Amino acid sequence: MGLPDRLKKKKNSPDFSGITQAEAQGMLEKGELELLYLVDPRFGGSEKMDNCLYVPAGTAAVKEHFDDVVEQLLIEGKVKGYDCRPSYKNGSVVPCSIVMRVTDRNKKEVLHELIEIW
């Protein structure tokens, strides 16, 4: 399985430029994309589509690992704030990157992660 040729850049890097909601839904059904929770439900995020992003298959596991680390820091009382922001380009509904930041009680950054998607 893999991405259609029109979604591949020269170095096998996908190009999701201009992907519409309908196209993303079709790619989701084919297993080329998956849904990723912007804010995981275990942290109070909604399970509705307004909290979901379309991302290439495998991307959600990367964020899930980050969220596992955040959960442990929360249990230990080392963090207070969590921010997750997608960036988009070229009119696509698939984000080109996701930046995640975790802060302590004083709003000092404790953890930072960037997922580059395309």
pLDDT digits (tens, 9 = 90+) for 20-56: 999 999 999 999 999 999 999 999 999 999 999 999 9
pLDDT for 32 equals 96
pLDDT at 3: 41
Q: Any residues with CB less than 8 A from the CB of 21 and at least 6 apart, and which?
A: 93
CA dist 26 and 67 (Å) reads 27
pLDDT at 103: 97
Q: What is the pLDDT of residue 12?
A: 65
pLDDT of amino acid 13: 67
For the cut 90, the answer to whether the pLDDT of residue 1 exceeds it is: no
Average pLDDT value over all residues in the chain? 91
Query: Which pair of tokens denotes residue 77?
Result: 């009382």
